[in-house]
Structure 1
Amino acid sequence: MAWGSEFLGQAGPLLTLAVVILGLPSVTGQILAGVLMGHAGLGLFDANALDGLEPLTHLALGLIAVTVGAHLNVQRLRNAGKRLVYLLLAESIVVPLAVFAALYFLPGSSPQLALLLATIAIATAPATIVAVVKETRSKGVFVKTLVAAVALNNMACIVLFEVARSAGSSLGGPSLPGLGEAAGGALGELVLAAGIGAGVALAMDQFARLAVRPERVTTGAVLALVFTTGLATSLGVSPLLACLVLGIVQTNITRVRSHLVDSVFADFEPTILAIFFTLAGLHLDTLHLQQAGFMAFAYFLARAAGKWLAANSAMRLAGATEGVRRNLGPALIPQAGVAVGLVIVIQNDPAYAHLAGLLSAVVLSVVTVNEILGPLLTRMALGRVGEVGKDRLRLMDFLQEENIVTEFRAESKEDAILELSELLIASHGLHAVDRENFLASILDREKQASTCLGEGLSVPHGILPRGFPMAGVMALSRQGLAFDTPDGKPVHCMVLLGTSPEERDRHLQVLATLARTVGLGPDFQDQLFNATSPAHASELLHGDEFEDFNYFLEASDEEPSQS
């Protein structure tokens, strides 16, 4: 069916262009293109044709899972842990409880059906989120929280679904395995899937170190993706979870963040995703809405309410900024790939033959609505938090949430510099830098002249080896640090910079910007010095109000790559 994939690759973008002109996400256009060509529209593709395109679906789902997993970089999520843990717990409890309660007493429902739908409801569509984020070139605290949350809720969904499936089948009759045995089997499958993903990631990392030519790395990465998906499928474990772990392990063991995703898959990822969303539209059938009826409506409302309540309460407990708290729930509405994959699992499980049809109708009908409405909600959320168009290099792009610490304390300037130099190396992943030499360069500069500029600002700086990008960390102290300053005022903001010799000009620009804004701007000072969290400080630095100073750099000024 080579002609089929070629046709999809052309037809999807055509309708996408029309939709984009109307101001809608391209994902919506791709899905609508599939609906138009499928059974609900012109009927250009029959069941046999769709079966022939199934390998593309598996490849796309694997790529999506790797992409999402690559965003779970421990280094980048250093200050986001509290938000993500609370959100994971809230989504794993509130959403399934809301859906289960809404469906349990409905006519035609059953404990098994309600339990399975409750766990499926946890998942957010990673492909939709990634596609909308990339299309809008969004970047910031909200995007980091959103994408990491999607990866985590998909993992939770898969785990809880397998447990629910085992528990539900155990309720089906005495001949089926006991609950404990079934749950143990499900856990074993999950561990095996994770082991496959981790093993392939480690092997891929070794291959990338040995490969000299970039095209060989690309070939190896594609083979790794196909092998992971195929091996997991053949062993009867979740290929989504295996690929998710592949992305997680890979992004945490390579020096360059998301190497496979950013460097290897970047060229063909848009085409694969466009075909995937068009295929998703081809599978959608308006008949599902008629079959599911009120149950699908109840599922949709309960899931949406659960997502909003879980996100809002979790972000409130975590002390997240207002923009994140208000907009995260709607952005988590999209649901597609993982949910559809779990439906297929139920369809192939003989223990659930009696309810597979109704479950499929409910999930697929809600997916139909969510995949048209969801991208719009996600895009609106990104716009409201002000992160659209921010995925471009800025003057102080090296100061992100993970590079900021609040409520900072130190007995002396030397202690502060020592602690911040360690944070700079750790948070930027500069493990190849000689720590002692870097620290010595900072202290030598301090001996020449104090870097306390007055008005609560101190900017110590050291020298990084050639080839390393500019790096920095920011420490904020409400009560102030009692250092020797020219104006006798305590230091409330300490920015430690690390700069290689070839970035001297940018270093001077950063110093001037910090002096003008932090040192001389009382309004900005008050907000920054009293930031309640690293996320709050990051939003201030990268917000629209600060854009005149933290401006976008031209392409020629992009950071050099590490050698």
Structure 2
Amino acid sequence: MKAAKELNFVERIYEIEEWLLINQLGNKVIYIIGGLLFAALFIVLMAKKYKVPIVVGYVFLGILLSVDLVEKLPFLSVGQKAWYAFVIGSLDYIPQLALAFIAFTIGSELSIKIFKNLGKNIVYIVLLEAFGSFILVTLTLYTIGKPLYLALLLGAIASATAPAATVMVLQEYNAKGLLTSMILAIVGIDDAVALIIFSLVEPLALILYSGTGDLALTNILVVPLVEIIGSIVIGLIIGYISQRFMNGLEDKTKMILTLGTTVVGSSALAILGHLSPLITNMAVGFAYRNFAKRNLGIAEYLDTLTVPLYAMFFILAGTEIEFSSLGSSSFLIIALTYTLARIVGKIGGASLGAWLGNAPSKIKKYVGLGLLPQSGVAIALAYTVQSDFANAPQVGLLVFNTLLFTAALTEVFGPLATKYAIVQAGEAHDYEQAQEK
């Protein structure tokens, strides 16, 4: 019986492969990727000219190229529109790869020395900004009459901060200093805290919605902790072995391949072991920063590897927006309430944490402005809601669309807020040099 099922599966694979070959899927993918990269180059030129963070341009471009808008173009045939939607959907591995490199970059910026210098400040800030946004979003949505299970789900997801846009802005302006180190450390730890909050809250929300089930300690506490600890351990081991190997290399080609293999391979192992690729690669980057006996010069190699990857990531994030689902007043009330409450929770919680930790003035004023973007992990959590609430697709769709709406707003305004923070704090060195010229 099993052999027959496998044979049928193989036959189906061959049929799909033959159909894709006949319809020249590879050519269509190249057409679209080529067009997106050409548009990305134009965006970079315009962003540099008008001194706007590049990531903002990427996201705007993605929104303009969203499937919903492309489907309304009169000069495209029905078949061309369908192929466009199919190809865009088939590129979902690009965000995964981009997030892996972003997580590695964050980890590589975190040194034990930084944690010692930041001390209790980072603990206060991370806990208060994450739980502040969770509590404020949950209470606000519940207060305006939304079901408690929905308020809990969106509140838990609100605690997550997307590192990608923030890291890209910091790199673009060559930001260095105490505020930059603090922001990088927070966005690195924040996702682990968000995963814990979500893992604790989602089972409760599911029970509140269905009215059945029980809260087992294993499901709400042990499983997420095992995932996080396992990801850290695996990442540290891989990172230690990889940096030791790279330490003996001088050839640039070998070093770039080693770095690429390490990051992508770590993601693959994490997915295979049902661990977090994000946390795993953060741990890999942390191992590179803290265990290496010499400066391996990986920053240059990362830039070489990731420029087109990041461009595609942010453009594709913009294309996810579904305008057809955003028109109702009920949805807009939920989405805007969620967005505003999360921003207040992030900025207010971060500032309160900095005040309690007696952090320097510029940390108190500006650290919250670097924590606004939301995509990546938050969208992954929204996918989880869709999967776990399969019997209630309207819940998953509402959560997912809310996250996409927020991601579009925060991926545009978040980088602008980050730029403002580092400029005001005097840590945007490339920006300052440009102003002097």
Q: Give the TM-score taking structure 2 as reference length.
A: 0.82
- The residue number in structure 2 matching 1:269 is 306
Q: Out of 142, 145, 156, which is 1:119 matched to?
A: 156
- The residue number in structure 2 matching 1:18 is 46
Matches within 5 A, 1:383-532: 383-389=423-429
Structure 2 residue 382 is the aligned partner of structure 1 residue 343 = yes
- Measure the CA separation in 1 of the matches of 2:84 and 2:139: 38
Given that residues 334 and 371 in structure 1 are in contact (C-alpha distance below 8 angstroms), is that contact kept between their aligned partners in structure 2? yes
Q: Out of 398, 403, 414, which is 1:363 matched to?
A: 403
Tell me the alpha carbon deviations over residues 232-285 of structure 1, each in whole angstroms, 9 at most, x when there is no partner: 22333322222222222332211346x474143221222211111111111123
Amino acid at match of 2:33: S
Q: What's the CA shift for 1:176?
A: 4.7
Amino acid at match of 1:356: G
Which has the larger share of strand? 1
Tell me the alpha carbon deviations over residues 284-318 of structure 1, each in whole angstroms, 9 at most, x when there is no partner: 23334335220111111111111121121111222
- Measure the CA separation in 2 of the matches of 1:349 and 1:79: 41
- The residue number in structure 1 matching 2:7 is none
Which of 57-66 and 321-330 deviates more? 321-330
Relative to 1, partners in 2 of residues 1:134 and 1:267: Cα closer, same or farther, differing over 3 Å? same
Given that residues 16 and 26 in structure 1 are in contact (C-alpha distance below 8 angstroms), is that contact kept between their aligned partners in structure 2? yes
Relative to 1, partners in 2 of residues 1:375 and 1:297: Cα closer, same or farther, differing over 3 Å? same
- Measure the CA separation in 2 of the matches of 1:175 and 1:100: 22
Amino acid at match of 2:100: G
Q: What's the CA shift for 1:69?
A: 1.6
- The residue number in structure 1 matching 2:355 is 316
Amino acid at match of 2:388: D
- The residue number in structure 2 matching 1:63 is 101
Which of 182-191 and 118-127 deviates more? 182-191
- The residue number in structure 1 matching 2:234 is 196
Given that residues 5 and 53 in structure 1 are in contact (C-alpha distance below 8 angstroms), is that contact kept between their aligned partners in structure 2? no
Q: Out of 122, 139, 153, which is 2:176 matched to?
A: 139
- Measure the CA separation in 2 of the matches of 1:84 and 1:71: 15
Structure 2 residue 218 is the aligned partner of structure 1 residue 218 = no
- Measure the CA separation in 1 of the matches of 2:397 and 2:424: 39
- The residue number in structure 2 matching 1:72 is 110
Amino acid at match of 2:205: G
- The residue number in structure 2 matching 1:148 is 185
Amino acid at match of 1:116: L
Structure 2 gaps of 5+ residues are 1-28, 72-80
CA RMSD of aligned residues (A): 2.6
- Measure the CA separation in 1 of the matches of 2:397 and 2:385: 9
Given that residues 104 and 111 in structure 1 are in contact (C-alpha distance below 8 angstroms), is that contact kept between their aligned partners in structure 2? yes
Given that residues 104 and 285 in structure 2 are in contact (C-alpha distance below 8 angstroms), is that contact kept between their aligned partners in structure 1? yes
Which of 143-152 and 348-357 deviates more? 348-357
Given that residues 70 and 261 in structure 1 are in contact (C-alpha distance below 8 angstroms), is that contact kept between their aligned partners in structure 2? no
- The residue number in structure 1 matching 2:317 is 280
Which of 133-142 and 73-82 deviates more? 73-82
Given that residues 304 and 333 in structure 1 are in contact (C-alpha distance below 8 angstroms), is that contact kept between their aligned partners in structure 2? yes
Three-state SS of the structure 2 residue aligned to 1:24 is coil
Structure 1 gaps of 5+ residues are 394-543, 548-563
Given that residues 390 and 396 in structure 2 are in contact (C-alpha distance below 8 angstroms), is that contact kept between their aligned partners in structure 1? no
Matches within 5 A, 1:542-553: none
Structure 2 residue 283 is the aligned partner of structure 1 residue 245 = yes
Q: Give the TM-score taking structure 1 as reference length.
A: 0.65
Three-state SS of the structure 1 residue aligned to 2:407 is helix
Given that residues 83 and 318 in structure 1 are in contact (C-alpha distance below 8 angstroms), is that contact kept between their aligned partners in structure 2? yes
Greater Rg, structure 1 or structure 2? Answer: 1
Relative to 1, partners in 2 of residues 1:270 and 1:94: Cα closer, same or farther, differing over 3 Å? same
Tell me the alpha carbon deviations over residues 337-396 of structure 1, each in whole angstroms, 9 at most, x when there is no partner: 221122122222246744111111211111111111111111111111121116999xxx
- The residue number in structure 2 matching 1:477 is none
- Measure the CA separation in 1 of the matches of 2:308 and 2:52: 19
Given that residues 374 and 411 in structure 2 are in contact (C-alpha distance below 8 angstroms), is that contact kept between their aligned partners in structure 1? yes
Tell me the alpha carbon deviations over residues 89-127 of structure 1, each in whole angstroms, 9 at most, x when there is no partner: 2123222111111112334x3222222211211222211
Q: What's the CA shift for 1:129?
A: 0.6
Given that residues 308 and 329 in structure 1 are in contact (C-alpha distance below 8 angstroms), is that contact kept between their aligned partners in structure 2? yes
Which of 222-231 and 297-306 deviates more? 222-231
- Measure the CA separation in 2 of the matches of 1:211 and 1:88: 37
Given that residues 194 and 242 in structure 1 are in contact (C-alpha distance below 8 angstroms), is that contact kept between their aligned partners in structure 2? yes
Structure 2 residue 369 is the aligned partner of structure 1 residue 330 = yes
Tell me the alpha carbon deviations over residues 125-146 of structure 1, each in whole angstroms, 9 at most, x when there is no partner: 2111111111122211111111
Given that residues 197 and 245 in structure 1 are in contact (C-alpha distance below 8 angstroms), is that contact kept between their aligned partners in structure 2? yes
Structure 2 residue 219 is the aligned partner of structure 1 residue 179 = no
- The residue number in structure 2 matching 1:561 is none
- The residue number in structure 1 matching 2:74 is none
Relative to 1, partners in 2 of residues 1:2 and 1:224: Cα closer, same or farther, differing over 3 Å? farther
- Measure the CA separation in 1 of the matches of 2:37 and 2:216: 46
Structure 2 residue 415 is the aligned partner of structure 1 residue 375 = yes
Three-state SS of the structure 2 residue aligned to 1:72 is coil
- The residue number in structure 2 matching 1:160 is 197
Q: What's the CA shift for 1:59?
A: 0.6
- Measure the CA separation in 1 of the matches of 2:292 and 2:44: 35
Given that residues 375 and 403 in structure 2 are in contact (C-alpha distance below 8 angstroms), is that contact kept between their aligned partners in structure 1? no
Tell me the alpha carbon deviations over residues 159-178 of structure 1, each in whole angstroms, 9 at most, x when there is no partner: 22122223333545587564
Which has the larger share of helix? 2
Tell me the alpha carbon deviations over residues 171-215 of structure 1, each in whole angstroms, 9 at most, x when there is no partner: 455875643121222322223323332232123123224445332
Relative to 1, partners in 2 of residues 1:248 and 1:163: Cα closer, same or farther, differing over 3 Å? farther
Given that residues 140 and 390 in structure 1 are in contact (C-alpha distance below 8 angstroms), is that contact kept between their aligned partners in structure 2? no
Amino acid at match of 1:12: A
Q: Out of 165, 169, 179, which is 2:206 matched to?
A: 169
Q: Out of 114, 136, 142, which is 1:104 matched to?
A: 142
- Measure the CA separation in 1 of the matches of 2:392 and 2:284: 33
- The residue number in structure 2 matching 1:493 is none
- Measure the CA separation in 2 of the matches of 1:221 and 1:328: 31
- The residue number in structure 2 matching 1:473 is none
Given that residues 172 and 351 in structure 1 are in contact (C-alpha distance below 8 angstroms), is that contact kept between their aligned partners in structure 2? no
- Measure the CA separation in 1 of the matches of 2:233 and 2:32: 35
Given that residues 315 and 325 in structure 1 are in contact (C-alpha distance below 8 angstroms), is that contact kept between their aligned partners in structure 2? yes
